[in-house]
């Protein structure tokens, strides 16, 4: 099917089936353009919790679909490609994490949203990169905390809150890859540019950044700032919105260590295509299903997050 026809069919099916299409900022531009809402992990969860659509199509990765299903268990939740996983969620296998938690009685478990439903079920409060500082600041100062799975975000939160959270040793394969050497060369080429970075990046990238924040915070900052050039250290899908909202500004993606192309893309996020979105709306599959008992345990720390956000 041609692109124009695909878009028409997606629009027809969305309205006939009362479906809402939610897309993360790391989706390809054409997926962001067709979505009803484009946002960061927190916004996706908030929309999923309050939508009155019958079907939620989550254009993102698997844990985002799971979070939507946990929050809206009576809605049909679809994702265009079931293989769209997350290296960070994969870096925290539930059986190993459970032993880690059991080995540290008395600790409060704070988990990044980039986790499986099973890991969320072992968690006291979920956070995203937008609300992690705000939520952790609300916990008593002497509370012993396990933070998982992203050690870079955990290190960053420890540094800005003065906490000493015990960190799980996980990471996102995209954010781990940014090259400090290439970033420093870009700063020489664009001396006026601001460096903006996602807290999933390694400390060596964050210490040279002028601004650190979630995808939504980076986008807000780029729009507000008087700078005209930005060197961007996160998945390059975010450039689509940055450029659309700031046509007079220049955005340069930081390259990874081992790539000849100038960008850094999440291969899982990019599994979702217009064609798969059309098929998923037409056939109502692949569908995210969650065991009701698991859902009952996993929903509590997510609702706690939404309350504390
Ligand atoms: P935010 O959506 O919170 O910026 O985090 C990015 C991410 O890790 C998506 O997988």
Looking up residue 241, the CATH number of its domain turns out to be 3.40.50.10800
Distance 5 CA to ligand 1 centre (A): 31
Residue 275 included in any domain: yes
**Model confidence at 49: pLDDT above 90:** yes
Ligand 1 pocket mutation, candidates 22, 38, 41, criterion most atoms within 8 A of CB: 41
**Model confidence at 123: pLDDT above 90:** yes
How far is Cα 85 from Cα 225, in angstroms, rounded to an integer?
Answer: 34
How far is Cα 201 from Cα 160, in angstroms, rounded to an integer?
Answer: 15
Is 249:229 a contact under the CB 8 Å cutoff? yes
Is the Cβ atom of 66 under 6 angstroms away from ligand 1?
no
205-221 average pLDDT score: 98
Question: For position 83, what pLDDT does the model report?
Answer: 97
Is 232:239 a contact under the CB 8 Å cutoff? yes
Q: What is the DSSP string of 93-131?
A: -HHHHHHHHHTSTTPEEEEESSS-HHHHTT-SEEE-TTT
Same domain, yes or no, for 7 and 81? yes
Distance 129 CA to ligand 1 centre (A): 6
pLDDT in tens, 59-115: 999 999 999 999 999 999 999 999 999 999 999 999 999 999 999 999 999 999 999
Is the Cβ atom of 114 under 6 angstroms away from ligand 1?
yes
Same domain, yes or no, for 93 and 227? no
Same domain, yes or no, for 117 and 129? yes
Among protein residues, the one whose CA lies closest to atom 10 of ligand 1: 114
Distance 261 CA to ligand 1 centre (A): 22
Domain count of the fold of the chain: 3
292-297 average pLDDT score: 98
150-168 average pLDDT score: 98
**Model confidence at 258: pLDDT above 90:** no
Distance 215 CA to ligand 1 centre (A): 6
Residue 65 included in any domain: yes
Is the Cβ atom of 67 under 6 angstroms away from ligand 1?
no
Same domain, yes or no, for 193 and 246? yes
Is the Cβ atom of 236 under 6 angstroms away from ligand 1?
no
CA 254, chain centre distance (Å): 18
Distance 3 CA to ligand 1 centre (A): 28
Is the Cβ atom of 27 under 6 angstroms away from ligand 1?
no
Confidence of residue 263 (pLDDT cuts 50, 70, 90): confident
Question: For position 73, what pLDDT does the model report?
Answer: 97
Question: For position 257, what pLDDT does the model report?
Answer: 86
Ligand 1 pocket mutation, candidates 198, 221, 241, criterion most atoms within 8 A of CB: 198
What is the pTM for the complete model shown? 0.96
Residue 141 included in any domain: yes
**Model confidence at 127: pLDDT above 90:** yes
Question: For position 262, what pLDDT does the model report?
Answer: 62
Same domain, yes or no, for 152 and 80? no
Residue 259 included in any domain: no
Pull the structure tokens for residue 101: 């938690």
How far is Cα 48 from Cα 42, in angstroms, rounded to an integer?
Answer: 10
| Residue 198, φ and ψ in degrees, nearest 5 | -85, 140
Residue 207 included in any domain: yes
**Which ligand 1 atom is at minimum distance from the Cα of 266?**
10
Pull the structure tokens for residue 190: 């664009």
Number of H helices, E strands in the chain: 15, 12
Question: For position 41, what pLDDT does the model report?
Answer: 95
**Which ligand 1 atom is at minimum distance from the Cα of 218?**
4
Question: For position 153, what pLDDT does the model report?
Answer: 98
Same domain, yes or no, for 22 and 161? no
Is the Cβ atom of 234 under 6 angstroms away from ligand 1?
no
**Which ligand 1 atom is at minimum distance from the Cα of 44?**
2
Mean residue pLDDT across the chain: 97
How far is Cα 68 from Cα 77, in angstroms, rounded to an integer?
Answer: 7
Residue 260 included in any domain: no
Question: For position 259, what pLDDT does the model report?
Answer: 63
Contacting residues for 198 by C-beta, under 8 A, at least 6 apart: 129, 175, 212, 213, 214, 215, 218, 233, 234, 235
Range of the domain at 95: 88-171+296-308
**Which ligand 1 atom is at minimum distance from the Cα of 172?**
8
**Model confidence at 304: pLDDT above 80:** yes
Among protein residues, the one whose CA lies closest to atom 8 of ligand 1: 114
Same domain, yes or no, for 300 and 157? yes
- Containing H/E element for 260? none
Is the Cβ atom of 272 under 6 angstroms away from ligand 1?
no
Q: Who has greater pLDDT, 169 or 259? A: 169
Confidence of residue 260 (pLDDT cuts 50, 70, 90): low
Residue 262 included in any domain: no
275-298 average pLDDT score: 98
Residue 261 included in any domain: no
Same domain, yes or no, for 284 and 300? no
pLDDT in tens, 139-149: 999 999 999 99
């Amino acid at each position: 099917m041609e692109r124009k026809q695909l878009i028409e069919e997606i629009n027809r099916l969305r309205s006939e089936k009362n479906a809402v299409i939610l897309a993360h900022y790391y989706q390809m531009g054409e997926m962001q353009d067709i979505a009803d809402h484009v946002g960061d992990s927190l916004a996706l969860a908030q929309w999923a919790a309050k939508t009155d659509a019958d079907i939620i199509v989550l254009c993102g990765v698997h844990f985002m679909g799971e979070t939507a299903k946990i929050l809206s268990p009576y809605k049909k939740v679809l994702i265009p490609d079931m293989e769209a996983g997350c290296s960070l969620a994969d870096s925290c296998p539930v059986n190993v994490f459970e032993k880690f938690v059991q080995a540290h009685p008395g600790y409060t478990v704070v988990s990044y949203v980039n986790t499986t439903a099973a890991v969320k079920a072992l968690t006291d409060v979920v956070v995203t990169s937008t609300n992690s500082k705000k939520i952790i600041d609300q916990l008593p100062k002497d509370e012993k905390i396990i933070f998982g799975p992203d050690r870079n975000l955990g290190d960053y939160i420890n540094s800005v809150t003065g906490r000493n959270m015990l960190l799980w040793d996980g990471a996102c394969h995209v954010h781990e890859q940014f090259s400090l050497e290439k970033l420093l060369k870009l700063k020489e080429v664009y001396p006026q540019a601001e460096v903006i970075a996602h807290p999933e990046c390694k400390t060596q990238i964050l210490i040279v950044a002028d601004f650190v924040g979630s995808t939504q915070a980076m986008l807000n900052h780029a729009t507000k700032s008087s700078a005209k050039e930005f060197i961007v250290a996160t998945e390059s899908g975010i450039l689509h919105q940055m450029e659309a909202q700031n046509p007079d500004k220049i955005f340069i993606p930081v390259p990874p260590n081992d790539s000849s192309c100038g960008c850094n893309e999440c291969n899982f996020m990019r599994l979702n295509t217009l064609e798969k979105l059309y098929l998923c709306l037409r056939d109502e599959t692949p569908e995210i299903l969650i065991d009701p008992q698991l859902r009952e345990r996993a929903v509590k720390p997510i609702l706690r997050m939404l309350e504390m956000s």
